[in-house]
Amino acid sequence: MPEPEIAEIPDRVPVMVLGGATLFPHGYMPLFIFEERYREMLSYALERQRMFCIGHALSGIDTDEHPDPVHRMTTVGLIRACVTHDDGTSHLMLSGLQRVEILGWEQISPFRIATIVPQPSRVEDLTVVGNLALEVVDLCGRLCGEGKPMTEQLREHLNGIHDPAAISDVVAQSFLNDPAQRQRILEMLNVEDRLRFLSAHLGQLLVDS
């Protein structure tokens, strides 16, 4: 089944270019906005749909000079809360809404604006995916406790989610630390593939813990 629509996704949004940063649908990312160009980007977003993307920067390039500085698959995020300080900086919380693919650039300066197309999740066998989701949630539960990577709050949150696609994204946001792994699973549109990857990763975490 596709990811549920949370909000209407525009066909063009600003992009904040960050190294090693990946936002997943159903995930959250706190941000501190201090660069002038991103202050302008934030004002632009707040005056419109309150949305922008986190662009995971390609490694080994000058992101200011390269024509395509980020991975094409990303996530549109919604500004859930924003506090702007007297010095013009801002703290905000970005909530991931939907995987999207960057098709091109409508604007480069002072901040980037991309044209995008949604990339919904795919489920080919609901029974298989449902069982895998239960397995992943169970593995997460076994990683909860003192000295382990999962909090009781996250376990309760996962137990309240019934959409396998959402489970895969919440777990990926919470348990994957390697930027390359995070980008790899973000680009997996097949939910079964995502859950199998996460099951193996969580199993290894249990072995190592």
Tens digit of each residue's pLDDT (9 = 90 or more) over 51-89: 999 999 998 888 888 889 999 999 999 999 999 999 999
User: Does 3 reside within a domain?
Assistant: no
* CATH number of the domain that residue 20 is part of: 2.30.130.40
User: Does 132 reside within a domain?
Assistant: yes
Res. 41 pLDDT band, cuts 50 70 90? very high
> Which pLDDT score is estimated for 52?
98
Query: Residue type at 49?
Result: Q
**What's 26's DSSP letter?**
T
From 85, 118, 151, the end of a domain falls on 118
User: Does 80 reside within a domain?
Assistant: yes
Answer yes or no: do 22 and 67 share one domain.
Answer: yes
> Which pLDDT score is estimated for 3?
41
Counting DSSP H helices and E strands in the chain, the numbers are: 6, 6
Lowest mean pLDDT among 120-129, 151-160, 161-170: 151-160
**Four-residue CA torsion sign, 163, 166, 170, 175:** positive
Answer yes or no: do 54 and 87 share one domain.
Answer: yes
User: Does 133 reside within a domain?
Assistant: yes
From 69, 88, 118, the end of a domain falls on 118
Cβ–Cβ < 8 Å for 83, 45: no
Region 3-9: mean pLDDT is 61
Answer yes or no: do 111 and 17 share one domain.
Answer: yes
pLDDT digits (tens, 9 = 90+) for 94-138: 999 999 999 999 999 999 999 999 999 999 999 999 999 999 999
Answer yes or no: do 84 and 135 share one domain.
Answer: no
pLDDT at residue 34 tops 90: yes
Answer yes or no: do 151 and 105 share one domain.
Answer: no
Q: Which residue has the higher pLDDT, 44 or 175?
A: 44
- 122-129: list long-range contacts, CB under 8 Å, 24+ apart: 122/2, 122/189, 122/190, 122/191, 123/1, 123/164, 123/165, 123/191, 123/192, 124/190, 124/192, 125/192, 126/1, 128/192, 129/164, 129/191, 129/192, 129/195
Res. 147 pLDDT band, cuts 50 70 90? low
Answer yes or no: do 130 and 114 share one domain.
Answer: no
Supply the range of the domain harboring residue 148: 126-208
Give the separation between CA 18 and CA 182, rounded to whole angstroms. 14
Answer yes or no: do 29 and 109 share one domain.
Answer: yes
Region 186-197: mean pLDDT is 97
CA-based nearest residue to 170, from 157, 183, 181 = 157
Phi and psi (nearest 5°) for 183? -65, -40
Answer yes or no: do 63 and 135 share one domain.
Answer: no
Res. 6 pLDDT band, cuts 50 70 90? low
pLDDT above 90 covers a percentage of the chain that reads 75
> Which pLDDT score is estimated for 4?
42
Cβ–Cβ < 8 Å for 1, 123: yes
Give the separation between CA 168 and CA 72, rounded to whole angstroms. 20
Answer yes or no: do 142 and 112 share one domain.
Answer: no
> Which pLDDT score is estimated for 150?
65
> Which pLDDT score is estimated for 24?
96
Give the separation between CA 176 and CA 198, rounded to whole angstroms. 9
User: Does 2 reside within a domain?
Assistant: no
Q: How many domains does the chain have?
A: 2
Region 192-208: mean pLDDT is 93
From 75, 90, 118, the end of a domain falls on 118
Res. 159 pLDDT band, cuts 50 70 90? confident
Answer yes or no: do 145 and 112 share one domain.
Answer: no
